Structure 1
């Protein structure tokens, strides 16, 4: 083709103007091959179009071309319709004339020509700039939506006459290249990117040409791309899983997903990336979730941290998937915990069965070592806490699962609940674990911080925290009254660390207990001065305890007949105390406390024995200072306690042959049974403890503990109901019960029957009144 003529055409001559600019258009669009357009050609074309559009002498009628475009025949002052029509026809013919070179893949041809055509279209847009700004703008403002600026007109012609007729071919070759890339072949991703991007540019909003429109992209590519991708990965995943295991499949998914992200970033629109992600999640993960679930528990059992974490990451965008993993983790923890605690129980039973100490097996106390039990709970928790960190990034769902599992197995397991109807022993064992550490006789090497951390951890999950407080307070009381605590500082240090877990009432009671111990020490020194050094009582240590703060109760069965040699000392204690506190009454708790007695029952030349005995046992031994033989009935009358108490405290003396029964086979409680203290006691130990062998002591203590817990809970529920009703004034029955349950759950698991009884009690006492509709009204 020849170069465009040099002389500008007459301004009002349409044909001359068109013939002048047409050769220049060929240069601009690339019809002349690699030849570019010169600035002179560009400016000549621009000027010719400008002159034509601004000429005021030409006829103001529409040509057949303009009429064809749907423009009404009218009078103008703006010119452009005729030349616009010619340009439209030219662009159509030009696009239709484009064809691939020999053996050139169609997609490569399409991309090559598209890149050149879009450059030319932008230049054309500039050439016809005046027409765009005036004639085109006027036509569009008049509602003619089939009129476009020249750049978009070129794109419309490309879409209608090259893209749409060859869409299936273009799309097939794009998908072919993508599949080859997925199969690890090297392809020119730029071709894919440009071809896909062309569909974005071809989406025009006829009402607003500046507004992005992805309709062509969505309908001609996106939908089919998602379908093809789903089918590709559906086949690949099924094939891979049939030949490899779940572990390898998850590794494959872990590799595939980021590959697709990179691919998406290279040639997909933002909206498609989300659809692609959803599709991949569905095909690669959701559709094979069951296979992964089936391997999940096995991986947990194998401690397959890497694979579990990989599964967690794959399921990260599937809330229901993570919920399933979390729920199965909770079940797994419960099962594993149950197994480990059952093994601990069996190993303890096996150890006891092989022990030569037959009496140890008969002791009415928990068989398992408290420390071993608490360590087992803590170790299970620590084990799965590490799993949460290593496998699940401490995701809240899995933290919740661990918490739920711990709340279960910390309270219900083979050791804590040996029989279905028994209450959980965990609160007691936790208190005994602390007791073992805090005793003066302990051989434990744990640090205070370590013990406190274990106590806080287990206490966090203990359902009935009030039971722990009760047991802890009772054991603390024993340590204090028996002088068997390592140090007050250590006791207070542990309590301080537990403060946020304990109730205010509990803390105040503990504080008062320590205050009582200090004031009792002052009283002890005053009494010691009064009774003097020659008293039959050597180191006497009276303790004055506030009845409302200490877990001890006066028991009428333990009413003793005090012998004269002790009475004067007791009188001195009472006198010294009442001098300072005349308004207070003292009650001796003979069922508590212990004594050390020197017994000159050894062979000649040997030192005397030191017997550790209860108060009742002390009275029995003192009676033998007056006579070496008594009948059961006579000795019982001298001591004065209830017969069952007397028999329980006498039995260890008979059992360990300090007192001989005659006849030996006769029932110990027979009033006529003869009891004689031996002249020479045979024992390898100089110090003998008879208190630990008293059988009914622990049963009595358990009864007192249960009674105190029951009474404390009754008071708590009653107070809780009063607080709620005082604030609410009226409350429906079920609402009131739910609020009480909610308040109580931080302390213990309240029973509905107990709440109902508390409500009935308050109704009887006229704190509450029933009103219509199953509600209550606050009266007081």
Structure 2
């Protein structure tokens, strides 16, 4: 075949046109040979270069323009017209759908467009590039021109038909029918290729894909799954529905990976989560409580995984969990109360029944609370994968039932009894007198589980410190190592400041031990065989001087105390010693047993010791004589002498409690004391001792809180200078939460106190100013 003249446009076009049809697939899959391909390329090249050369010469002869003129406009126009005619002339086979026709022709056309782009490579590189650089945005390289003509004359006219048939194929696949996924994939990907930005050919553009396919696809998907989910739930339970959801989500994710653009994947998941999960969240919430009751952790985990895909649906589930835990704990507390009331009716706890107290057994109470916590902590760990939202719900529920259950608080504003009960729990397994069988499963780990949720930590510290003080001065601690390990745990959970006083108490005990050894060499009293002094820092120990205990010391004790004071002043000049006669214990050997039997050992208080020492001088005293001899007040003597009369160590005349504190009532020491035990404790039977300790603890706690709030308010106001009441209250509450929850009424009282002390000044009804 001879090449046409390089200056002949029509000849050149007639030469290449038949081959262009073959390249684009006019004859099906029949292609072109390399020779034909090269002939087309050469013909286009010859025409463009010759035309450009002639234009340049003409311009030089006319001396008008010396620039090199590029040819291509005429052949570009013919190519554009040819493409329109070619595309509009494509016909669909009788036995194929439009989708099949479109995909078949598109695949062949895009392959041909790539080859055709190479045929017109010279024109692309010179004329097209020059036109576009000059601002022509209606001129494109041949490959792009082919795609644009396909979009205009094939896609635009048939877009609805193409998209509808594609969506039908997707729905058939969802219905488990076999479809040609390649058709779906090619059709969808063609929309991406058609999204050409004529202003910037290099910029990705999904406008065709989004407007023509994505919107319809998401709408159809939402409708399909709404209908399916509603129908499925009407015939199946929630657990089966959740399994169905998991399957459907996996299928759609797999489908999206096969033929959807990344832009659609996120929107698709949002649509699926909304239709399959969010719109049916209420049904899941309703089933949730049943799953909890049946302890079906696997199904709860499945529910959580689904709902976690829509974060807004988790909070109602967490709230449901919190309320359920509170209700379960309430049932447990009611069982404890019921068991406690039953034991009182059966006479198993006569002292409590007499006093009217319904305080529970600390071990039963604490272990019941722990059981609730551990049960639901396991649910949070396994089913909710320690999600912070559900950890918070568990913590909130535990904080509620630990501090405000029907045993802990008698009313909304009543102080919680849990700190006191928890301190008694710790005292139970830390005391050496506790039976091992009763404390075998009581330990510091359990203590710390509940302590973490106690709101009034300062109240626990006060009760625990008082019981620790008793264990230390009475030497009833199980072991020093165990005591210090618990102290360390409390410090780790709260702060170093929290345990400062208790740490100092241990230091005082060690120093007192050294004093005991020094004092041992100075004992020259035949009556006292051993003297154990405890020097306790006044600000650290929970003991206060009671002015009612102004005792007249017997001469047998005075010499020992004088010796000790002299010894102490030798080491600590200027320190003041104050004796706490309402504390301390004594072991007294009493030769009141039957002849030939070993003597009794009585454990008594300091006042009881002085009463007994008096009976060394004579056998009978009246109440009035003892009162004058001891120098105390009638109520104290009455309380201290009561156990001795009750357990027949002293014979009272006339007998009866109503005569016990009468001045003329006499008490006579028995010649022979009858008791099965050789060691008799008269301290544990004292009346009103616990009530007095509770009152002292409450008084000290109130004073401590007042001081803490005063320090907080002054510190805040010193930094702020001025603040409204609400701002000040909120800041105080925030700072005090680690110790207790400050009440508004308490803050107001402290503010009034600071105003009286001229630390603060009231500017108006709601604002305060700091006075330097």
Structures share a fold, TM > 0.5?
yes
For residue 226 of structure 1, report the CA deviation from its aligned partner: 0.8
Report whether the alignment pairs 1:635 with 2:630: no
Matching residue of 2:549: 558
Alignment coverage as a number of residue pairs: 760
Matching residue of 1:596: 587
SS of equivalent residue, structure 2 residue 652 = strand
Matching residue of 1:208: 200
SS of equivalent residue, structure 2 residue 530 = coil
Report whether the alignment pairs 1:48 with 2:43: yes
Name the CA distance, whole Å, in 2 between partners of 1:546 and 1:193. Answer: 85
Which piece of structure 1 moves more, 685-694 or 439-448?
439-448
Name the CA distance, whole Å, in 1 between partners of 2:325 and 2:718. Answer: 43
Name the CA distance, whole Å, in 1 between partners of 2:412 and 2:123. Answer: 93
Q: Deviations over 1:294-317 (max 9, x none)?
A: 112222222221122212211223
1:126 and 1:421, CA in 2 relative to 1: closer, same or farther beyond 3 A?
closer
* Aligned mate of 2:603, from 604, 608, 612: 612
* Aligned mate of 1:724, from 689, 692, 716: 716
* Aligned mate of 2:459, from 459, 463, 467: 467
Name the CA distance, whole Å, in 2 between partners of 1:379 and 1:639. Answer: 52
Which piece of structure 1 moves more, 470-479 or 382-391?
382-391
Structure 1 segment 534-683 matched on structure 2, within 5 A: 535-665=526-656, 666-683=658-675
Which piece of structure 1 moves more, 731-740 or 434-443?
731-740
For residue 261 of structure 1, report the CA deviation from its aligned partner: 0.9
Report whether the alignment pairs 1:12 with 2:7: yes
Name the CA distance, whole Å, in 2 between partners of 1:238 and 1:502. Answer: 52
1:643 and 1:450, CA in 2 relative to 1: closer, same or farther beyond 3 A?
closer
For residue 503 of structure 1, report the CA deviation from its aligned partner: 5.0
Contact 1:364 1:698 in 2 (8 A): no
Structure 1 segment 191-340 matched on structure 2, within 5 A: 191-340=183-332
SS of equivalent residue, structure 1 residue 612 = strand
For residue 500 of structure 1, report the CA deviation from its aligned partner: 3.0
* Aligned mate of 2:423, from 414, 419, 431: 431
Report whether the alignment pairs 1:32 with 2:27: yes
Contact 1:80 1:135 in 2 (8 A): yes
Name the CA distance, whole Å, in 2 between partners of 1:427 and 1:536. Answer: 43
Matching residue of 2:62: none
* Aligned mate of 2:176, from 177, 184, 196: 184
1:583 and 1:737, CA in 2 relative to 1: closer, same or farther beyond 3 A?
same
Q: Deviations over 1:245-276 (max 9, x none)?
A: 11111111111112111111111111111111
Report whether the alignment pairs 1:165 with 2:157: yes
Q: Deviations over 1:410-447 (max 9, x none)?
A: 21213322455542122222222222222222344899
* Aligned mate of 1:696, from 685, 688, 703: 688
Report whether the alignment pairs 1:391 with 2:391: no
SS of equivalent residue, structure 2 residue 87 = helix
Which piece of structure 1 moves more, 116-125 or 208-217?
208-217
Unaligned 5+ runs, structure 1: 1-5, 61-74
Name the CA distance, whole Å, in 1 between partners of 2:435 and 2:177. Answer: 71
Unaligned 5+ runs, structure 2: 56-66
SS of equivalent residue, structure 2 residue 701 = helix
Contact 2:52 2:71 in 1 (8 A): no
For residue 464 of structure 1, report the CA deviation from its aligned partner: 1.6
For residue 458 of structure 1, report the CA deviation from its aligned partner: 2.7
Name the CA distance, whole Å, in 2 between partners of 1:447 and 1:352. Answer: 22
Name the CA distance, whole Å, in 1 between partners of 2:237 and 2:418. Answer: 43
Per the normalisation by structure 1, the TM-score is 0.91
Which piece of structure 1 moves more, 286-295 or 406-415?
406-415
Name the CA distance, whole Å, in 2 between partners of 1:623 and 1:46. Answer: 135
1:449 and 1:719, CA in 2 relative to 1: closer, same or farther beyond 3 A?
farther
Which piece of structure 1 moves more, 140-149 or 43-52?
140-149
SS of equivalent residue, structure 2 residue 587 = strand
Q: Deviations over 1:85-134 (max 9, x none)?
A: 33223222222332333422332222122111110011111111222233
For residue 378 of structure 1, report the CA deviation from its aligned partner: 3.0
Matching residue of 2:60: none
Name the CA distance, whole Å, in 2 between partners of 1:356 and 1:138. Answer: 107
Contact 1:411 1:463 in 2 (8 A): yes
1:276 and 1:446, CA in 2 relative to 1: closer, same or farther beyond 3 A?
farther
Contact 1:12 1:57 in 2 (8 A): no
For residue 596 of structure 1, report the CA deviation from its aligned partner: 2.1
Q: Deviations over 1:657-710 (max 9, x none)?
A: 333434445443333334344444333322222211112111111111111111
SS of equivalent residue, structure 1 residue 598 = strand
For residue 450 of structure 1, report the CA deviation from its aligned partner: 8.6
Report whether the alignment pairs 1:758 with 2:750: yes
Name the CA distance, whole Å, in 1 between partners of 2:305 and 2:218. Answer: 23
Name the CA distance, whole Å, in 2 between partners of 1:189 and 1:710. Answer: 77
Name the CA distance, whole Å, in 1 between partners of 2:243 and 2:594. Answer: 82
Name the CA distance, whole Å, in 2 between partners of 1:545 and 1:191. Answer: 91
Contact 1:769 1:779 in 2 (8 A): yes
Name the CA distance, whole Å, in 2 between partners of 1:357 and 1:337. Answer: 25
* Aligned mate of 1:498, from 483, 490, 493: 490
For residue 41 of structure 1, report the CA deviation from its aligned partner: 0.7
For residue 731 of structure 1, report the CA deviation from its aligned partner: 4.0
Q: Deviations over 1:312-361 (max 9, x none)?
A: 21122322111222222222222222222332333333344435452354
CA RMSD of aligned residues (A): 2.8
Name the CA distance, whole Å, in 2 between partners of 1:503 and 1:56. Answer: 92
